[in-house]
Amino acid sequence: MCGAIVWDAVSAGDNAAGSVWRTAITLADIPEQHIIVPSFACLTPSYQYQWILRSETPAQTCALTPVTPAGIEPWQGFVSPTPNAKHMLSKIDCWHTAVDCADVQAELVLYLPRASTPPANDLLTLSIRPIDRDARTIALPTKAVTLEPPCPVSQMLARPEIAKRICSPTATAMAVGGADAPALWPDAITGCLDPNTKAYGKWPLAIYWASQQQRLGAVEAVFDWAEIETVLRCGAPIVCSIRFAEGALPGAPLMQSAGHLVVLYGIEFEQNEGFALVMDPAGNSAADVAKRYPLQAFSDAWISHRGGAYFFESGARHP
């Protein structure tokens, strides 16, 4: 589906300023062992929102933790997050289905503390795919596409107690910051700290921080390389959520990872072998951030499992 968001006004309560809006999207039936990734962003300052997923068969409601600005308490009208249940599992930033689910609806509740009308600039996406894909079924790119390398930033130059935990804000700053990425990096770190888990890798917080830098984006679960090539050809680097076993990603500064964020800015070929051009924030210095990973190994690390990605508008930030 593609089109304008249809917002319905909701009472904000007697003690709440601003306004509250709701929209709901009916989804196709979702098989078991699929990931459902919701995403929302707008350019309105200090917005808050919460995603809720409802399934009629089996009957279940799963609410994710509200997304709010750094250091701000959630609006009291949001519902309590749902712990993992038998049929539909609420993760930090998405859902996993344990059984086939029918008559599924995703609901977004948006709280705008400083506005009385819906957002003028916003982006809502929902992506669904199998949690895991057989690497042998994923066709690799056959044509080269290369963007200007993003300005490098190394997460390892941060304070030792957080340096190994901040790949998401570091990659996001590189993807959207342009030449200002090093200067924006500290603010990205602050904006991506999840007060509930004390982690920095919660997907929607990176999208939220970028929106407050006037750059719309979305977190999605990519299925194949075709859509990735389309985005690169539009001039936008992509933040990729990867994981790999020990030694499975040749040339990576990390020997292995259960979850790491890097920036893909190109695909190139040398004779018959393809390579992913990547800015890897785990490099020990800015000079060691640019990497060239074998395309098959990179595809295995990224698209085979969940395929999480941050997509952002190409070009300069909104004025």
Tokens coding 21: 């809006």
Tokens coding 34: 């699929």
Share of the chain above pLDDT 90, in %: 89
Residue 10, CA distances (Å) to 13, 19, 160 in order:
9, 8, 45
Once rounded to an integer, what is the mean pLDDT over residues 7-21?
85
pLDDT score, position 236: 96
Once rounded to an integer, what is the mean pLDDT over residues 75-97?
89
Q: Does residue 62 contact residue 85 with C-beta atoms inside 8 Å?
A: yes
Share of the chain above pLDDT 70, in %: 97
pLDDT score, position 83: 77
Is residue 317 very low, low, confident or very high in pLDDT (cuts 50, 70, 90)?
low
Upper half-sphere CA count for residue 255 (Cβ side, 13 Å): 1
Q: In angstroms, rounded to a whole number, what is the distance separating the alpha carbons of residues 313 and 295? A: 24
The per-residue pLDDT of the chain, averaged, comes to 94
Is residue 85 very low, low, confident or very high in pLDDT (cuts 50, 70, 90)?
confident
Helices (H), the chain: 167-177, 181-191, 203-211, 225-233, 295-302
pLDDT of 15 over the 80 cut? no
pLDDT score, position 319: 47
Once rounded to an integer, what is the mean pLDDT over residues 58-62?
92
Q: Which domains does the chain show, CATH number per domain?
A: 8-131 (2.60.40), 136-312 (3.90.70.10)
Residue 5, class by beta-carbon neighbours within 10 Å (0-12 exposed, 13-18 middle, 19+ buried)?
Answer: middle
State the pTM of this model. 0.95
pLDDT of 21 over the 50 cut? yes
pLDDT of 118 over the 90 cut? yes
Q: Nearest-5° angle of CA 200, CA 278, CA 194?
A: 5
pLDDT score, position 97: 95
Q: Give the residues across from 309 on adjacent strands.
A: 220, 240
> pLDDT digits over 131-172, tens only?
999 998 999 999 999 999 999 999 999 999 999 999 999 999
- 39: Cβ–Cβ under 8 A, 6 or more apart, which residues? 123, 124, 125, 126, 127, 203, 204, 207, 218, 219, 220
Element (H, E) at 95: strand 95-97
